[in-house]
Structure 1
Amino acid sequence: MKRSIGVEERLPLLKTIPLSFQHLFAMVGATILVPIITGMSPSIALFCSGVGTLLYIICTKAKLPAYIGSSFAFIAPMMVASKNYGAASMLSGIIAAGLVYVIVAIIIKFFGIKWLNKALPPVVVGSIVIVIGLGLAGVAINWAGLNTSYVDASMQHVPRWAWITVSVLTLGIGILGSMYFKGFFGVIPILISMVTGYVAALALGVIPQSAIDAILSAKLFRLPPFLMPEFNLSAMLLMAPVAFVTLAEHIGHVYVTNNVVGRDFTVEPGLHRSILGDGVATIFAGLVGGPPNTTYGENIGVMAITRVYSVWVIGVAGVIAIVLSFIGPVAAIIEHMPLPVMGGVSILLFGIIASSGFRIFVEDKIDFSKKKNLILSSVIIVIGIGGAAVKFKFNGADVEIAGVALATIVGMVLNVILPDVSATEVDEDTEEENIVNQKAKAV
């Protein structure tokens, strides 16, 4: 069996760089897709991903190997906040989500994690994850050109058949790659599908000449488009609750990393430090104009395949991401990602997000014969997908909580106030117990 490379172990630079690029390739497809979907700059996402990873390494005392990338959980609230309040105001919501991480890290440091498990049981987390995925389904279908009534200004020059051909090809490669690619290629099927779709879009004339000219004329060095946040309470209340969903995901990633590496990272450096690192990375992203960050399961997969757990390899990957964010042609290629390419890959990715919620139900053996579980899941999913919103006044300003945020809050409140067993179930249990007792007496 191949020798594993330990967390603190340093490799020669010539060995480190290709291993670091592998981590970069594993996360780059998803990381750049989040800003593309939400209308942000992919280069700023790369920059925040690299800096966020280095901040995470510092917070965890370089004792927990994890790569930080853009979070899919925040896509829907980011789009709503940006549309309703503006991009700068949306950034204050990202900062608020990061602050939730920091506060939870402090609480865990002093009081442990039992309270968080009680507030967010698997039935609540799974239902919210389903909302995140299904809530974006319509967006993916529109981008893929499968909604024939949908028209986008960037695609008016493209025949519908070419639009659909590129999206279906992108989706097909993503599916085939996920199923059949092995080794290194098995880690980056999404990136391969996006590159293939991009090439097909070029061949079929889907990419306009103006975009091609912009790519060819891009300067070699270009600053990422930094943006300062503006305080907006509505955006903060919209996005902050979503942090509890990604917290559950983050904790799951730490436990998986424990199993892969063979260490208990919840003890050293401690779960609170890991959560703190994630929160600091997200706050930094909000301060400079990037998307919220989270730990990446894709990179855990890379470690499991390669048995290279070195935090130095991951740190160099972060540095490479920062360097790439300043290279103009790279940013230009990403920024002109064709709509059908995004649509094809989004059908798969958004579906996978929703399916991850069902996976939580299965793995944690959620019993839907129990009325509490049935009610929690039903209410969360309908409120989250149905477009429910709550508006109120705060210090004279209009505040709105909607979508995933509202579903998360409702789910957590219902979980606390509803009894574990309904009155009907108590009666049924009592009746079964009486029958058993009568049979015992008869014997």
Structure 2
Amino acid sequence: MSDVHSTEYNFKLKDALLGAQMLFVAFGALVLVPLLTGLDPNVALFTAGAGTLLFQVITRGKVPVFLASSFAFIAPIIYGVQTWGIPSTMCGLAGAGVLYAILSVLIRIYGSGMLRRVLPPVVTGPVIMVIGLILAPTAVHMAMGRTGDGSAWLVPNNTAMIIAGVALLTTIFASLLGKGWIKLIPIMLGIAAGYATSLILDATGFTAAQQAAFDPGQLQNWTAPALISFGKIAEAPLLEMPKFTFPTWNLEAILFIVPVAIAPAIEHFGDILAIGGISGKDYVKDPGIQNTLLGDGLATSLAACLGGPPNTTYSEVSGAVALTRSFNPAIMTWAAITAIVLAFVGKLGSFLNTIPVPVMGGIMILLFGAITVIGINTLVRAGNDLMLPRNMAIVAIILVFGIGGMSFDLIIVKLGGIGLAGIVGVVLNLILPCKDCNEPLPDEVNPSGPDHHTDL
């Protein structure tokens, strides 16, 4: 077996290009999170690379995974940045990483089954749904050419809908019909198609004509005769220190964001099982799920301490590992090094910031919808009867509290949104009587039992 196909850590210069290729697979999703949330893409690149290296230290270089920007935190980051600013939001995200570390300690004490008992699908499913749905209006506003809160026009509506539609449809068809590497990078292709469409609309004069005839109504008009300007790219230095942002203490942000970590903590199990199935090794036992979860958490806290989005194991990179059969964990070291080097390219961040808002809006429509569907699928695959009073109460309260905007003003902090929904779900699951609470659906409805939905 060659060094590339071996599961043993073997760091060699000849694997640098393969590592860069792995980063390319992750690149679209990696930079999408900071672009959607207002964070710095170059910082996200740096923290993805640094987080992956830290993960490898914690797991003793045994797991071939790459850590980068987590989609699960997009909604709370956007809300946090708008409400408290980036430094306070980073405090909450650092707390999410600490929760991972606490869970890893509990797993060492009580075993991996502990998470399933405290956080069953009846809690995690609706929490994931809330994450996807709470900022659905933001996606629609951006796809229509407005700011995320809908208060001002950035792009005329007709122009925006064309661009968002191209980006959205390209992403969908690349995911459905793509072969090989194409299927691994649908988001990147969608962004590229939307960007190319924007350039064409600018070059043909369509953008200027639409802007000249545009009626903004009662909203502020921040539109321009061109969608893309390369002036800032020309002004940006080739090499530049990433714009790190350090956290400031904010208890309210911690209580709002930390419960969001419940969902990705559960998903972490699936990711580690998946990469283990791909490489033929049981990483749950060695280096141990408690160590992989600790590595994920510390990488998230490290990212937050520098102003980057939380990290998570990337499924698309695992797919690339399966496709290339590159099981050597050292390849991910090269991917991390490449990410860190690119983080110091100043023109890269400036280029990414030229992407028009409707491009990201089109992607967000699919992204937030997909997160919601994942939450629904979590409930469906569990096979529990949601009409049982206990299950119905937990799911209903999580959804209404999260989507409806319920909040409580405590003595020193205000708790609401996703954070409140997650905390309430966990508490209800622990205190409500559990007689037959996880009873599967009747045979006539679900004839194959809980595993019937495995292939959905």
TM-score by length of 1: 0.89
* Matching residue of 1:379: 397
Query: Are the aligned partners of 1:25 and 1:191 in contact in 2 as well (CA < 8 Å)?
Result: no
1:204-262 Cα shifts (integer Å, max 9, x gaps): 13894783100123211011101121111111111111122211111121112222222
Question: Distance in 1 between the 2:187 and 2:34 partners?
Answer: 16
Question: Distance in 2 between the 1:178 and 1:91 partners?
Answer: 32
* Matching residue of 1:405: 419
| Unmatched segments (≥5 aa) in structure 2 | 203-223, 443-456
Measured after TM superposition, the shift of residue 413 of structure 1 is: 0.9
Query: Are the aligned partners of 1:46 and 1:324 in contact in 2 as well (CA < 8 Å)?
Result: yes
* Matching residue of 1:25: 24
Measured after TM superposition, the shift of residue 147 of structure 1 is: 7.9
* Matching residue of 2:189: 192
Question: Distance in 1 between the 2:251 and 2:85 partners?
Answer: 13
Aligned length in residues: 418
Indicate how the Cα distance of structure 1 residues 376 and 48 shifts in structure 2: closer, same or farther if over 3 A, else same: same
Question: Distance in 1 between the 2:89 and 2:228 partners?
Answer: 30
* Matching residue of 2:77: 78
Match of 2:198 among 201, 215, 233: 201
Q: Could you say what secondary structure the match of 1:97 adopts?
A: helix
Query: Are the aligned partners of 2:101 and 2:293 in contact in 1 as well (CA < 8 Å)?
Result: yes
Question: Distance in 1 between the 2:19 and 2:151 partners?
Answer: 38
Question: Distance in 1 between the 2:228 and 2:140 partners?
Answer: 26
Query: Are the aligned partners of 2:146 and 2:152 in contact in 1 as well (CA < 8 Å)?
Result: no
1:128-154 Cα shifts (integer Å, max 9, x gaps): 111111112111111100889985657
The structure with more radius of gyration = 1
Q: Are 2:409 and 1:415 aligned? A: no
* Matching residue of 2:102: 103
Q: Could you say what secondary structure the match of 2:411 adopts?
A: strand
Q: Are 2:347 and 1:348 aligned? A: no
1:282-322 Cα shifts (integer Å, max 9, x gaps): 11111111111111111121122222111111110111111
* Matching residue of 1:236: 254
Question: Distance in 2 between the 1:20 and 1:285 partners?
Answer: 21
Q: Could you say what secondary structure the match of 1:219 adopts?
A: coil
Question: Distance in 2 between the 1:296 and 1:70 partners?
Answer: 9
* Matching residue of 1:360: 378
Amino acid at match of 1:406: L
Q: Are 2:324 and 1:306 aligned? A: yes
Measured after TM superposition, the shift of residue 419 of structure 1 is: 2.0
Indicate how the Cα distance of structure 1 residues 381 and 147 shifts in structure 2: closer, same or farther if over 3 A, else same: farther
Indicate how the Cα distance of structure 1 residues 291 and 373 shifts in structure 2: closer, same or farther if over 3 A, else same: same
Measured after TM superposition, the shift of residue 273 of structure 1 is: 0.8
Identity of aligned residues (%): 38
Q: For residues 250-261 of structure 1, what are the structure 2 equivalents within 5 Å?
A: 250-261=268-279
Question: Distance in 2 between the 1:11 and 1:222 partners?
Answer: 28
Question: Distance in 2 between the 1:28 and 1:351 partners?
Answer: 21
Query: Are the aligned partners of 1:371 and 1:422 in contact in 2 as well (CA < 8 Å)?
Result: no
Query: Are the aligned partners of 1:384 and 1:404 in contact in 2 as well (CA < 8 Å)?
Result: yes
Question: Distance in 2 between the 1:250 and 1:311 partners?
Answer: 18
Indicate how the Cα distance of structure 1 residues 21 and 84 shifts in structure 2: closer, same or farther if over 3 A, else same: same
Q: Could you say what secondary structure the match of 1:401 adopts?
A: strand
Match of 2:340 among 318, 322, 330: 322
Q: Could you say what secondary structure the match of 1:223 adopts?
A: coil
| Unmatched segments (≥5 aa) in structure 1 | 430-443
Query: Are the aligned partners of 2:56 and 2:295 in contact in 1 as well (CA < 8 Å)?
Result: yes
* Matching residue of 2:163: 166
Query: Are the aligned partners of 2:167 and 2:193 in contact in 1 as well (CA < 8 Å)?
Result: yes
Question: Distance in 1 between the 2:113 and 2:436 partners?
Answer: 24
Measured after TM superposition, the shift of residue 370 of structure 1 is: 2.5
Q: Are 2:351 and 1:333 aligned? A: yes
1:368-415 Cα shifts (integer Å, max 9, x gaps): 232322222121111111111111113xxxx11111111111111111
TM-score by length of 2: 0.86
Q: Could you say what secondary structure the match of 2:415 adopts?
A: strand
- The CA RMSD measured in Å over matched residues stands at 2.5
Q: Which range moved further: 20-29 or 305-314?
A: 20-29
Question: Distance in 1 between the 2:3 and 2:293 partners?
Answer: 30
Question: Distance in 2 between the 1:329 and 1:147 partners?
Answer: 26
Measured after TM superposition, the shift of residue 127 of structure 1 is: 1.0
Q: Could you say what secondary structure the match of 1:179 adopts?
A: helix
* Matching residue of 2:266: 248
Measured after TM superposition, the shift of residue 345 of structure 1 is: 0.8
